[in-house]
Amino acid sequence: MKISKYIDHTLLKPDVTEIQIQRLCEDAVKYCFFSVCVNPVWVSLAVDFLKDKKVKVCSTVGFPLGSTTSETKAFEAKEAVKNGADEIDMVINIGKLKSREDEFVFDDIRKVREAILGKVLKVIIETSALKDEEKVRACHLAEKAGADFIKTSTGFGEGGATTKDIKLIGNSISSKVKIKASGGISDYVTAKAMIEAGASRIGCSRSIDVIFGE
C-alpha cells in the first residue's frame, strides 16, 4: 500500500516557525504527501513554498476547541481560502452538540461550507469527547450541512483515532462522505489499519516515521 498519498502532513503547534513550515513543505514534496496542514497564519507561506507542486494546502478553522462563533469560523475559513488553502478542517462546537442543540451545530458547519464553496471541507468531531450516539449525530449533521469528510480528532484532545470509531463513522455516513483519521497515528501499522477500517485520509505530524515503516 502506497500510504504517502493518503497523508495530510501536519504541523499545528503554537510555537511553529517559518523555517519549520518550509521544511514541512519540502518533506511533503519529497515524500509525495497529499497535503500539508497548517494553521491559518502560515497558509500564504505554504502556498508560496508549494507553488507549481502537486501538494495541496490544508488549514484549520475554529481550532482546536471549536468554540468560536459561527461567523468567526466562516470568516476564518474564507480568509484561509483567499490566501490559497485548498482544504479546510473545521472543529464542530462540541458543547452545543452535547447540549443537543443540533440546529446550531448544523448551522455552524453550513456557514463554513457556504464560505468556501468549491473547496474541500473536513469536519472534526473530536471523537474522544463524545459518546457513540453523539458521534453518529455529529456525522449526520455534518453530512447534511455539506461536509466532504468527517475527521476524528484535532490531536489536541484526550484521545485520537481508533479503528472502532472509523467503522462507526463509516456506518453513519453515505458513500458521498469520506473519513479522515487523525490523532495519535505515528507508525505504518496504525495508519494502514485506519485505511483498512475505512479512512481515505490520514492526518499526522510523524508522517515520515509512518512511511519509513512501510
Which residues are catalytic, by number? 89, 151, 180
Residue entry with cell 461550507: 113
Q: Which residues pair with 11 in a beta bridge?
A: 38
| Cell matching residue 77 | 475559513
CA angle (153 as vertex; 185, 118 as ends), nearest 5: 110
Structural element, H or E, at residue 135: helix 132-145
Residue entry with cell 466562516: 74
Q: Determine the Cα–Cα distance for residues 150 and 213; give it in Å rounded to an integer.
A: 26
Q: Determine the Cα–Cα distance for residues 97 and 61; give it in Å rounded to an integer.
A: 17
Q: Which amino acid is at 47?
A: V
C-alpha dist (Å) from residue 116 to 9, 21, 31, 36, 78: 22, 24, 28, 18, 6
At a CB cut-off of 8 Å and minimum separation 6, what does 28 contact? 9, 35, 36, 50, 55
